[in-house]
Amino acid sequence: MKSLRLILGNARYFGPSWVFASINILFGTWAIYIPTVKENLAIDKSQLGVAIFCLSLGVFIVFPFASSIINKVGVGKSTWYGVILSCITAMLPLLSPTFYTLMASLFLFGASNGFTDISMNTLVTELEKKDGAKFMSASHGFFSLGGVLAGLGSFLIGPLGNPVLHMGIAVLLVLTVNLMFYRQYVGEEAVAIEKEVFSLKHFKPLLLLGLISFIAMGSEGAIVDWSGLYLKEISLAPEALWGAGFLGFQITMTVGRFLGDGISARLGSVKMVALGTLLSIFGYVLVLTTVTYYTIVGFALCGLGFSVIIPELFRIGGNVKGVASSQGVSFIAGAGYSGFLCAPPILGFLADNYSLKTSFMVLFCVALIILGALVLLKRRRA
């Protein structure tokens, strides 16, 4: 919690951290209107899965080019420009009149978010180096906090009755606060660092970590994208509660990220991932009951479980023997984003051909695979 106090007490650190929150405010506001967009465009679940895949593809495809742009423009300016682009493109999906324009809009929104994501993480890294301050984990907590704010905004669905107006309010909030603090970081420049070549021989000890990352990040994205539709169509929840699963997931994700480091110090990383997985499995059990309030609590438990998995995987991957920490983290991150890419169309196909409940049964089963991978990982580390 020391890093949280650091952020709240210093505008130099609050500005970048608010960018983390901004990205999830915009993304979360889009997510709670997924059922509405599906209904307005009269598309099926498979088409919705493809559209969401385009968003993930936009995030993924910008990665190879982002670092060179950031180094050329400057990490501070890149972060600020990324915020502006994200605000503009956030409006496009809710304005899309057809399925194909929705695909294009989500691709642009994803690319903008991906560029901002890399910029803001690079910015925090540079500030930590220059100032000797540690606030990366808490900044990711602000990302989750942005999701909480977006989830609270779901209660405006009924009173506003206008998705575009709702997103406009979210954009106004994001821009107003960023305009107050962007001067604190806009002049920052990243120090160019020569990258090491990643050897194929390093893949073997990282495969289990990559598998867990693939499942965990894919599952996180699935809950964010599909929880509202699940509550609407499977749990038959009233409209006011369609965003409650997303809200519960984001609240517990935030709490877990702010408190996880202290618990991990006592348990160790492997046990921490196992604990998070068990919480997520129990959460899926509640979700599969389809009872509205049990389902909402289940999504919240999944958020608490998944909140600690990815940070711990980065910690383990950064300490694999014979592998540079940056290489380990990069491999795990790449595997995770691949999960983001694959999960939406797969779950959309299952939902369209079987049911959305079947999709979440699959998520429950792959969570069990994480436990098996952890047993193998523990043996390998021993």
Give CA–CA dist 104/328, Å, rounded.
33
Joined tokens for residue 217: 């990040």
Distance (Å, whole) CA 142 – CA 6: 13
Q: Which of 188, 217, 240 finishes a domain?
A: 188
| Predicted pLDDT of residue 357 | 92
pLDDT given for residue 326 in this prediction: 45
pLDDT tens string, the chain, 382 residues long: the values are 666 778 888 899 899 999 999 999 999 899 888 888 988 999 887 888 889 888 878 877 887 777 778 888 988 999 999 999 999 999 999 999 999 999 999 999 999 988 888 788 778 878 877 887 777 777 878 988 888 888 888 778 778 889 999 999 999 999 999 999 999 999 888 665 454 455 555 566 678 888 898 899 888 888 877 888 899 999 999 988 888 998 899 889 888 888 776 787 788 878 889 999 999 999 999 999 999 999 999 999 999 999 888 877 876 775 667 665 445 655 776 677 778 767 767 887 888 888 889 989 999 999 999 988 888 877 766 5
Number of structural domains in the chain:
2
Is the Cβ–Cβ distance between 287 and 230 less than 8 Å?
yes
How far, CA to CA in Å, does 213 sit from each of 216, 246, 308, 367?
5, 21, 12, 11
In-domain check, residue 240: yes
Contact indicator for 253, 303 with CB cutoff of 8 Å: yes
Residue with tokens 């950064």: 318
DSSP one-letter string for 256-317: HHHHHHHHHHHH-HHHHHHHHHHHHHHHHHHHTT--HHHHHHHHHHHHHHHHHHHHHHHHHH
From residue 5, alpha-carbon distances to 2, 138, 255 in Å are 5, 9, 15
Domain that includes residue 18, residue range: 1-188
**248 and 127 assigned to the same domain:** no
How many whole angstroms separate alpha carbon 382 and alpha carbon 380? Answer: 5
pLDDT at position 182: 93
Determine if the pTM surpasses 0.85. no
| Residues 183 and 205 reside in one and the same domain | no
Same domain for 60 and 117, yes or no, is yes
For residue 52, give every residue at least 6 positions away whose Cβ sits within 8 Å of its Cβ, in sequence order, or none: 34, 106, 225, 344, 345, 348
Asked if 289 and 295 count as a contact pair (C-beta separation under 8 A), the reply is yes
Q: Which residues contact 55 (CB under 8 A, 6 or more apart)?
A: 106, 107, 109, 110, 344
291: domain CATH number is 1.20.1250.20
